[in-house]
Amino acid sequence: KLKEIDRFDAAFFNIHPKRAHNMDPQLRLLLEVTYESICDAGMNPIKLKGTKTGVFIGTSGSDAQNAFSSDPQTLEGYSMTGCATSKFANRFSYFFDFKGPSYTVDTACSSSLLALDCALNALRNGSCNAAIVGGVNLCFRPQTSVQFLKLQMLSNDGICRAFDSNETNTDGWKKDGITFPNGEMQKNLLENIYKEIHLDPNRIGYVEAHGTGTRAEVFCSKRDQPLLIGSTKSNMGHPEPASGVAALAKLLIAIQDGHIPANLYYNSPNTDIPGLSDGRLKVITAKTKLPNNLMSINSFGFGGANVHAVLEANSNRKENENLSRNEIRLAFACARTIDGCENILKNLKKYENNIELQALIIENSFHPSHTHPYRGFTLLNSSDSSIIVKKCNNERRPVWFVFSGMGTQWSGMGCDLMKLKLFRQSIERSSIILKKYNIDLFKLILSSTPRDLDHPINSFVNIAAIQIALVDCLKTMGIEPDGIVGHSVGELGCAYADGCFTAEETILAAYFRGKCIQEANLPAGGMAAVGLTWEECKQMCPSDIVPACHNAIDTVTISGPKQSIEKFVEELKEKKIFAKEVSCNQVAFHSHYMIDIAPLLKKCLENVIINPPKKRSSKWISSSVPENQWNTSLALTSSPDYHVNNLCSPVLFQEALQYIPSNAIVIELAPHCLLLAILKRSL
């Protein structure tokens, strides 16, 4: 029995309650199962919208239409549109926005398998690129069963005994009228099919029979072993127009399991089927291993529309061998209900090393929040068994990328991310670019020491390479920024994310930035973080020290000569004001002390950046050019002048953060989340 066929999530399918109440439960069931089937196939229904997908549905009648239309006083007209079987397929095309052929097939018992034939022909002739094939049959009215009984088509005890000698109301094949099987025509059909596909029918290992006594000689002319046969009718009764897809489902499960289920209620052979007596045919009476990868299905309509399908098992195997069993992975899902989301994640944890299942779930996690409002995640291969599920609203939250700068480098950065193929490939591309400059990027990332990373070139190329790889990973996952902000050298990452720089331009700009600093004869400089506002810094700093980075309202990085910085830090501490020197490799970044580097850096960048430079998009909020100069030539493009100015001018990070909406999802892209505390306080 089917449970709760009186229940239906009409809102999910955009169907008005009145229409849903007058809709044939067959159609409601088909809609639900089809949506599930698309997801189970590893496809996202959203991505099929507007595609050239055909719909072919096999059905024969609507008992519900008679029930909904029996009382003239309650008629609303919706039962006509909701129960017309001719429109079943069209409802699918309407809901999913499919653009391929769409029609219902009615050939009685062979309807759904003939629908499969129609779908295959449509695919072959190019009418559609994909197809939905279905069959349905729900019996509500006893009158239909009474008529079958009168025609001697039902057994008295309601059990189908396919191939058995106790053939209550069955008598094999004979020429007695349109409703009786024609064995000769069935034989001709099979011979023509196998001739067309150039396949010897003796190679078929199993036949899912319709149960009407098809002649055996087609399959058994040159067979060493008996042909294995069975019938879905013995397992579930006769689904009538849905019998073809029911048999197909049975065989697909058999292929997946590797075994064919037993044919039930078979005790002694039917004498009207000679193949059973002479040993050419063998009814499967117990769970049996598939003899080979070829099998077939018979589905015959009682008006004479006969269909035969040949199946070959997919020989491809799941490839989970390369997956680390100890690797912790993030799994996420979405669903219409909290229970649904939790169940999906529990199932993922149960099969946490099944990468195909994970890929399927992830593909189907991209649904609009109004249809799948519950979002959740869990960790696989982790001692943490928690599953987090929350309901989200329909608001589309903007995504902002924030690129950090100096101070985010550390020994071993990026090592764990190297397990991600996409990340590793991006690092490999950057490594190839840097080889001509005698830099081993992989060595720097995987085995550098803190002292190695104090070197300006090493720190800059490491930060840039990792930011490039992170952008590549996020964009591959479909995460595109609505806004971009960079801190200091992080604006090179902005240029890449904004499409102004190629990966090569980005990594080489970082290299020459470090090289120019390394080769410059700069006086020993220092930098320190202080707990003052920008204006307080301007007032309190000695004449040779300047505010360099406006990180937050009350957090500023100052820059100047090393000895002056050390002295001023001690003075601030005596006044109980927070002050701490920061590592800067004795370079006074973002101050007038960098002016001497500007000509050489500009010349190097002119050889790196493609001319003319690309225009910066409105997504990229500058943190190196004051807002009142955003319309000047300096700020309009990602030019050598822009990036030279970035090195020599203050970082106006706090000002840039004001453009990030309060509801934004902010992703810091860096080897380390240096700006996390500042972002939490400022946004």
- Are 194 and 100 in the same domain? yes
Q: Is residue 324 part of a domain?
A: no
What is the three-class DSSP state of 668?
strand
- Are 239 and 372 in the same domain? no
Token digits for 321?
A: 């061998």
Domain-terminating residue out of 395, 414, 430:
395
Distance of alpha carbon 218 from its chain centroid, rounded? 45
Q: Which residues neighbour 406 within 8 Å (Cβ) at sequence distance 6 or greater?
A: 459, 463, 488, 489, 584, 589
Q: Is residue 603 part of a domain?
A: yes
Contact 641, 613 (CB under 8 A): no
Contact 488, 652 (CB under 8 A): no
Q: What is the pLDDT, as a whole number, of residue 84? A: 85
Distance CA 343, CA 16 (A): 29
- Are 546 and 619 in the same domain? no
So which residues are the catalytic ones?
Answer: 109, 210, 238
Q: Which residues neighbour 397 within 8 Å (Cβ) at sequence distance 6 or greater?
A: 663, 664, 665
Q: Which residues of the chain have pLDDT under 50?
A: 168-174, 213-214, 216
Q: What is the pLDDT, as a whole number, of residue 169? A: 40
Distance CA 43, CA 371 (A): 17
Q: Is residue 496 part of a domain?
A: yes
The three state secondary structure string of 32-90 is HHHHHHHHHCCCCHHHHCCCCEEEEEECCCCHHHHHHCCCHHHCCCHHHHHHCHHHHHH
Q: Which residues neighbour 551 within 8 Å (Cβ) at sequence distance 6 or greater?
A: 487, 529, 557, 651, 653, 654, 675, 678
- Are 252 and 296 in the same domain? yes
Q: Which residues neighbour 449 within 8 Å (Cβ) at sequence distance 6 or greater?
A: 411
Distance of alpha carbon 404 from its chain centroid, rounded? 30
Q: Is residue 468 part of a domain?
A: yes
- Are 428 and 502 in the same domain? yes
Q: What is the pLDDT, as a whole number, of residue 6? A: 85
Q: Is residue 465 part of a domain?
A: yes
Distance CA 68, CA 21 (A): 9
CA atoms within 13 Å, Cβ hemisphere of 658 = 8
Q: What is the CATH number of the domain that holds 91?
A: 3.40.47.10
519, 525, 530, 532 alpha-carbon torsion, rounded to 10°? -100
Print the domain residue range for 537: 523-586
Distance CA 585, CA 562 (A): 10
Distance of alpha carbon 327 from its chain centroid, rounded? 21
Distance CA 603, CA 597 (A): 10
Q: What is the pLDDT, as a whole number, of residue 636? A: 97
Hey, what amino acid is at 611? N
Q: Is residue 321 part of a domain?
A: no
Question: Which DSSP symbol is given to 164?
Answer: B
Pairing of strands 374-380, 329-335: antiparallel
Q: Is residue 646 part of a domain?
A: yes
- Are 362 and 454 in the same domain? no
The three state secondary structure string of 533-548 is CHHHHHHHCCCCCEEE
Q: What is the pLDDT, as a whole number, of residue 324? A: 61
Q: What is the CATH number of the domain that holds 367?
A: 3.30.70.3290
- Are 638 and 677 in the same domain? yes
Token digits for 328?
A: 């912790």
194, 195, 201, 207 alpha-carbon torsion, rounded to 10°? 20
What is the three-class DSSP state of 295?
strand
Distance CA 411, CA 447 (A): 7
Q: What is the CATH number of the domain that holds 482?
A: 3.40.366.10
Number of domains in the chain: 4
Distance CA 323, CA 72 (A): 64
Contact 368, 316 (CB under 8 A): no
Question: Which DSSP symbol is given to 261?
Answer: P
